[in-house]
Structure 1
Amino acid sequence: MKVTERYRKAAETGDVDLAMTTFAADAVLHSPLTGRVRFTGHAELRPLIEVAYSHLKNVRFVADLGDEETRVVIYTAQIGDEPVEEAALLRIEDDLITEATLYVRPLPGLVTLMSAFGPDIARRNHRPAAARFLSLATKPLRAMVRSGDKHAVPLAAPRR
């Protein structure tokens, strides 16, 4: 089974152990939230994947494109009550992912992801004060984005 087949099956079934078999020992994952954060190696990737699989539901892959060295996989999912789509640009060597760069849309789904993942990752990194801060800090942002998506964005859309 090729690496992206294992990667997709792991995400669709929530199998963290299978997901870990897809990454090289020194793999790097670039956050979809900021260019300032990356996760390197299995010790940092496992908690992130555990958090992701605990929050993402109904993961369904819709594309797996590329060649043996570079692949793009795209899935749809649900996080809380928000739909989300993610594209992952994967660099591959020896049938293992060496680098993953994640892109998430739409904005309400991305902000919901941030408000769920941030506190959980901080807790797993033994930073309870940071987890509380992130939980509180993301609530107003989530409310603003949801309100803007519902009320402001339609104002700019073409009339139908």
Structure 2
Amino acid sequence: MSTTSALARAEATTERYRHAMEAGDPDLALTTFAPDAVLHSPLTSALRFTGIDEIRRVVECAFGSFANVRFHTDVGDERTRTVISSAQIGGVDIEETAVLRLNADADITEATLFVRPLPGLVALMGEIGPELARRAGRPWAARLLRVLVAPLRLMVRSGDGLGVRLTQPR
């Protein structure tokens, strides 16, 4: 297979991925992943989701939490692509970068997610973490996660307001 056709297939995969995310279509999004793909959490390196069933849970939770997803960047080659989007979660603006590793069939084998700014990352933690726990049959863990995230939300809101003003020149 030529490099050009491999690149075109990789670009088609990320185009399908972007369309699925913007449309909120989990079934279409999952068609871009290899059966044994790994998704790395943006929250901690200790959390990863392996295989379509685990990735489906995360994708469905994300689609239930994100609003106004819009991609603005898609770059890379036939083996590694980077896509960048903006969205809101819980009323907080975020920017997400996904580094996607693809196999020879242009299926995503590994997705590593990065989210900024910090208030957006904390909003993500507060929305998706409890929902994943609830879907895993642990309603008590969902409640606990909400309680644990509440002080973080307060701290980053304060830091994003007062903290930023305190660092600005007079």
Is the pair's TM-score, using the shorter chain for normalization, greater than 0.5? yes
SS in 2 for 1:7: helix
The answer for the alignment partner of 1:67 in structure 2 is: 77
Task: Give the counterpart letter for 1:136 in structure 2.
Answer: V
Task: Give the counterpart letter for 1:9 in structure 2.
Answer: H
The answer for the alignment partner of 2:22 in structure 1 is: 12
- CA deviation vs aligned residue, 1:9-65 (integer Å, no higher than 9, x gap): 000000000001000000000000001000000110001000000110000001000
Task: Give the counterpart letter for 2:34 in structure 1.
Answer: A
Task: Give the counterpart letter for 1:156 in structure 2.
Answer: T
* 1:37-48 superposed matches below 5 A: 37-48=47-58
Q: CA RMSD in A?
A: 1.0
Q: Deviation at 1:96? A: 0.5
Q: Give unmatched runs, 5+ long, in structure 2.
A: 1-8
* 1:80-99 superposed matches below 5 A: 80-93=90-103, 94-99=105-110
Task: Give the counterpart letter for 2:129 in structure 1.
Answer: G
The answer for the alignment partner of 2:33 in structure 1 is: 23
Q: Deviation at 1:125? A: 1.0
Q: Deviation at 1:157? A: 2.8
Select the structure of larger CA radius of gyration.
2
The answer for the alignment partner of 1:135 in structure 2 is: 146
Counterpart check, 1:146 vs 2:157: yes
Task: Give the counterpart letter for 1:32 in structure 2.
Answer: P
The answer for the alignment partner of 1:76 in structure 2 is: 86
Q: Match for 1:126 among 133, 137, 149?
A: 137
Counterpart check, 1:105 vs 2:108: no
SS in 2 for 1:126: coil
TM-score, normalization by structure 1: 0.97
Q: Deviation at 1:130? A: 0.9
Q: Give unmatched runs, 5+ long, in structure 1.
A: none
Matches of 1:133 and 1:72, distance apart in 2:
34
Task: Give the counterpart letter for 1:105 in structure 2.
Answer: R
